[in-house]
Amino acid sequence: MKYCARCGSEYQDSVRECADCPGNPLLVSAEEMRARGLPLPHEMDKRVFVRAATAEDPFTAEAFVGVLQEANIPVLVRAGRSGVVDKLTTGNLLPWWEILVPEDLRARAVPLLEQERVQELATTDEAARAAEEEERETETPPSPPPAP
Ligand SMILES: [Zn+2]
């Protein structure tokens, strides 16, 4: 079996890339997953990964992964389609990604991600402000469930 170090999915040995993740990352061996501190699918019930944040675009997801890897926090990214939105049978991905970290490291991960989000907003300040205003006016988009 091979595994996606991004989302944690399991694949047949003949498969080379993850079909689910943006950029179709190359799959790795079980040993490599272990070396990165990531759980194999059948280990997920033992080692609980919980949501630390959500990203509304793949760039933010990438940035979050980078921050967490720098801090040596194992991270998985799940496209926000499964579970929550069973009713959607189109197979389309919703435009957000779930950032998952080990439960015992969540308290460390969340502030790092919040900091990263603030920094990102600061660098794209005007765009962010425009987007915010637009959001306020339209009151729309399909967004992740509000964080607790
Ligand atoms: Zn994947």
Concatenated DSSP letters of the chain: -EE-TTT--EE-TT--B-SSSTT-PBPB-HHHHHHTTPPPGGGTTTS-EEEEEEESSHHHHHHHHHHHHHTT---EEEETTTTTTTT--S-PPPS-EEEEEEGGGHHHHHHHHHHHHHHHHHHTHHHHHHHHHHHHHH-----PPPP-
Compute, in angstroms, the gap from residue 127 CA to the centroid of ligand 1: 30
Compute, in angstroms, the gap from residue 136 CA to the centroid of ligand 1: 34
142 in a structural domain: no
pLDDT above 70: percentage of residues in the chain: 72
Q: Which residue has the higher pLDDT, 89 or 74?
A: 74
Residues with CB under 5 A from ligand 1 (ion): 4, 6-7, 9, 18, 20-21
Please give the pLDDT value at position 83. 47
Give the range of the structural domain holding residue 13, as residue numbers without chain letter: 2-43
User: pTM value?
Assistant: 0.66
Average pLDDT, stretch 77-94? Answer: 58
56 and 38 assigned to the same domain: no
Average pLDDT, stretch 118-136? Answer: 71
Compute, in angstroms, the gap from residue 147 CA to the centroid of ligand 1: 24
85 in a structural domain: yes
113 in a structural domain: yes
74 and 110 assigned to the same domain: yes
pLDDT greater than 70 at residue 95: no
30 and 84 assigned to the same domain: no
